[in-house]
Amino acid sequence: MRNIAVRIAYDGAGYHGWQIQKNNVTVQEVVRGAVSEIVKQPVSVVGCGRTDAGVHAERYCINFKSDTTIPCDRLPLALNALLPGDISASDAVDVDDDFNAILSCKGKEYTYRILNSAVRDPFLEKRAWFYPSKLDVDVLARAVSHFVGTHDFAAVRSVGTETKSTVRTIRYFRVSKDGDMISFKVFADGFLYNMVRAMVGTAVYASMGKLDADDIPEILASRNRTLAGPTAPPQGLYMTRVDYDGPAGEMMRR
């Protein structure tokens, strides 16, 4: 039996997140249906992470096991013939039997986008956080710099999926501005539930003077969610990088 990894992308605006739910349409459900139809057998589709309702993925990895003989270079086109317009497959590779899209992941990058303008852009309503009050990029950058490194991130996560540890390592957390668009890029070995959105919300609070950017180490040490800023809305969040060893890693870098 083959183990196949596929690179996909999706606009999450029309879905209740990645993971299959009983009463809501999710990305995993739609992708599993398309894959099962292509390979002519029911399959389980494993995703590289749980994105919430309204969150997007520019790069996302799935894997499934199947006896199909379809060559990998034909799979994306076959899938795209069945997938809706807001989900697409761009590449596929055969991987080792023990490869698992989430368990084999070495790290992920998320990008968060804020439209910092006095005027709303209707084309970005579901793709960026519209924030009309002027934000100071230097303060935002100083705030997020305190998250870099190995810390207990309990103060910037929401109650959700249980985890053995709330300690994670952030490799980089960068802020840039292009016109009215402010972008945050953060890479870590793993993320807690709503962690990125809570860190962005905390940085925005610092820029607005509702907390001091240099208080963030103390906030992290407290492990108290109420001391940090709010959870930023989902539409600004994108998964933009997923790292693996081997063929899947090469595919995700292409």
What residues are paired with 176 via a beta bridge? 183
Over the stretch 104-151, which tens digit does the pLDDT of each residue have?
Answer: 999 999 999 999 999 999 999 999 999 999 999 999 999 999 999 999
Say if residue 202's pLDDT is above 80: yes
Over the stretch 159-184, which tens digit does the pLDDT of each residue have?
Answer: 766 788 999 999 999 999 999 999 99
52, 97, 180, 189: the catalytic one is: 52
- Concerning whether 52 is annotated as a catalytic residue, the answer is yes
Q: Is the CB of residue 141 less than 8 Å from the CB of residue 217?
A: no
A 10 A CB-CB count for 253 gives: 12
- Supply 51's token pair: 């994105």
pLDDT of residue 161: 66
> Which position has the token pair 């996302």?
60
| Residue 13, C-beta contacts closer than 8 angstroms, at least 6 positions apart | 54, 56, 86, 126, 127, 235
pLDDT of residue 163: 83
> Which position has the token pair 């590289």?
48
What's the whole-number average pLDDT of the chain?
Answer: 97
Over the stretch 38-68, which tens digit does the pLDDT of each residue have?
Answer: 999 999 999 999 999 999 999 999 999 999 9
pLDDT of residue 160: 67
What residues are paired with 66 via a beta bridge? 2
Domains and CATH numbers, the chain: 2-104 (3.30.70.580), 107-240 (3.30.70.660)
Closest CA to 1 of 98, 97, 101: 97
Kindly report the pTM of this predicted structure: 0.97
Mean pLDDT (whole number) for 88-113: 98
